[in-house]
Amino acid sequence: MTDAGSLVAKGARTASSAPRPAGDATPGGQADGAPAIRLLGVRKSYGALAAVDGVDLEVGRGEFFTMLGPSGSGKTTLLRIIAGFERPDGGTVELAGADVTRDPPYARNLNTVFQDYALFPHMNVLDNVAYGLRVRRVARAERRRRAQAALEMVRLAGRGDHKPVQLSGGQRQRVALARAIVNEPEVLLLDEPLGALDLKLRQEMQLELKRIQREIGITFIYVTHDQEEALAMSDRLAVFNQGRIEQLGAPIDVYEHPATEFVAGFIGVSNLLERSGRCLTVRPEKIHLLVGGASPPTGSHVESGHIDAVTYLGPITRYVVALDTGERLTVVRQNLDVAAGESIETKGQAVSVAWQDRHTYEIGAEAAQLAKPTAKAKKEAK
Ligand code: ADP
Ligand code: MG
């Protein structure tokens, strides 16, 4: 294990990492076994707009927790409330069992990493990382040791004497991360930290963040609007819509069993169907596309339609199938042995689609109404 492994030794926090003065704890204090974060009925409005509209949430210690949702769903506002930059209109925020709702940001044992990671341009990387420790009057030798350990953790050990301008975007984001973890917070809040990076770098950094989180064992609250990122990184995730949590669970639960039409559509492709008054969803990769009279797998449910759109995406091809019912289904096929040209030729072709009943999932009855094809969709299907 590297020196960085001792960054946050569980149960061995230094005095400097515990900003809450002794005796200032709420009744019960830092209850052992309390969740890292507990939110109760948190609300925040801007004028008539309820940005956060009654959120209850518990996040366990050491958990990688993601708040996922479209732009404007209240993720940043809630994160700022947890950090203490924003005071909620109602509800309470607890950290490790202590009510911190009225505490200023500096009195909360957490750190925030933003997408816009302003590093000090005139300071080298090591000094940037050590800055927070200097403010807290940690002795120079100790500061350097801890900053160096944090840089090792983010794999920038050799770059301590570089200036930020000499680093790539991904490296600068790592410095921002090192600057946050060097303070050994109980909780790290990350607001779309990879949003400015290109796809490839973002995917690399997703793995890195996950590794770092595992190694230092602190709680991560991660905000993103990117469903793939949320699925890839989280122990659990909450899907936000209009200031509320629509669904909360492990990635596989939320993806395979979306609770509402919104979740089904936001995480992946919704593929809503109404059958016998029930609203069903079936994921694109669970559907067989049967071209040229190919026979369906045994025991599968079969429906007919025609191919309305074809998009070649490299590893997969995505088809939109207009069913004879007027509904539309997205189907993806891995390009195992279909040449690009062949798959694109199939537009307009009559096809059948087939899936196993166990791969359909019934979602809320209120969604059944929404699943009905709109007049527009019906017209398009003709
Ligand atoms: P997200 O991070 O999910 O994109 P935000 O929390 O930033 O969403 O915003 C939620 C809603 O609150 C949005 O409609 C946004 O315009 C509004 N909002 C956020 N901050 C303010 C503010 N300081 N003043 C007025 N409205 C705000
Ligand atoms: Mg935001």
Tens digits of per-residue pLDDT, 315-336? 888 999 999 999 999 999 988 8
Q: Which one of the ligands is nearest to 116 CA? A: 2
Highest mean pLDDT among 12-26, 251-265, 352-366: 251-265
Distance between CA atoms of 365 and 22, rounded to whole angstroms? 52
Q: What is the CA angle 281-352-268, rounded to 5?
A: 30
Residues 10-23, mean pLDDT to the nearest whole number: 36
Burial of 284: CB neighbours in 10 Å, binned 0-12, 13-18, 19+ = buried
Whether residue 280 is predicted with pLDDT greater than 50 in this model: the reply is: yes
Q: Is 49 in the pocket of ligand 1 (CB under 6 A)?
A: yes
Q: Which of 237-241, 308-312, 346-350, 366-370 is the least confident region?
A: 366-370
CA 114 – ligand 2 centroid, Å: 10
User: Which tokens is 334 given?
Assistant: 């891995």
> Which has more pLDDT, 12 or 296?
296
Q: What is the pLDDT of residue 8?
A: 42
What percentage of the chain exceeds 70 in pLDDT? Answer: 85
pLDDT in tens, 57-102: 999 999 999 999 999 999 999 999 999 999 999 999 999 999 999 9
The pLDDT mean for the chain works out to 85
Ranges 51-65, 142-156, 186-200, 213-227: which has the least confidence? 186-200
pLDDT band at 9 (very low <50, low <70, confident <90, very high): very low
Q: Which CATH class is domain 272-381?
A: mainly beta
Q: Which residues surround ligand 2, an ion (CB under 5 A)?
A: 76
- Range 260-265 average pLDDT: 90
3-state secondary structure of 65: strand
pLDDT over threshold 90, residue 246:
yes
- Any idea which ligand is nearest the CA of 195? 2
Residue 336 DSSP symbol: S
List the helix and strand counts (H, then E) for the chain. 11, 18
Residue 377's pLDDT band (boundaries 50, 70, 90)? very low
CB of 204 closer than 8 Å to CB of 174: no
Enter the DSSP assignment of 380: H
pLDDT bin (cut points 50, 70, 90) of residue 22 is very low
pLDDT at residue 305, rounded to an integer: 95
Radius of gyration of the chain (CA): 25
**Rounded CA separation 113/168 (Å):** 17
* DSSP one-letter code for 374: P
CATH 3.40.50.300 domain range(s) in the chain = 3-255
- Tell me the CA distances in angstroms from 169 to 97, 173, 180, 306, 322, one per residue in order: 37, 6, 17, 46, 43
- Residue type, position 122, single letter: H
Look up tokens 């050590």; give the residue. 130
Residues 6 or more apart in contact with residue 51 via CB below 8 angstroms: 44, 45, 74, 77, 243
- Of 49, 112, 115, 237, the one to substitute when testing ligand 1's pocket (max ligand atoms within 8 A of C-beta) is 49
Chain center to CA of 179: 22
- Closest residue by Cα to atom 24, ligand 1, is 46
Ligand 1 atom having least distance to the Cα of 191: 2
Is the CB–ligand 1 distance for residue 46 below 6 Å? Answer: yes
Atom of ligand 1 nearest to the CA of 71: 4
Q: Is the CB of 284 under 6 A from ligand 1?
A: no
Mean pLDDT of 343-371: 74
- 360 vs 374 pLDDT, higher one: 360
Q: Is 241 in the pocket of ligand 1 (CB under 6 A)?
A: no
Query: In the structure, what pLDDT confidence band is assigned to residue 197 with cuts at 50, 70 and 90?
Result: confident
Q: Is 77 in the pocket of ligand 1 (CB under 6 A)?
A: yes
Start-end ranges of CATH 2.40.50.100 in the chain?
A: 272-381
Residue 10 has pLDDT above 50, yes or no: no
Which residue, by CA, sits nearest to atom 21 of ligand 1?
Answer: 46
Judge if the beta carbon of residue 224 lies within 6 A of ligand 1. Answer: no
Specify the CATH number of the domain 3-255. Answer: 3.40.50.300
Give residue 366's pLDDT: 47
Element containing residue 14 per DSSP (H, E):
none
15: left (phi over 0), alpha (psi -120 to 50) or beta: alpha
As a whole number, mean pLDDT of residues 234-243 equals 97
**C-alpha span between 184 and 165 (Å, rounded):** 26
The letter for the amino acid at 116 is: D
Asked which of 121-125, 229-233, 265-269 is least confident by mean pLDDT, the reply is 265-269
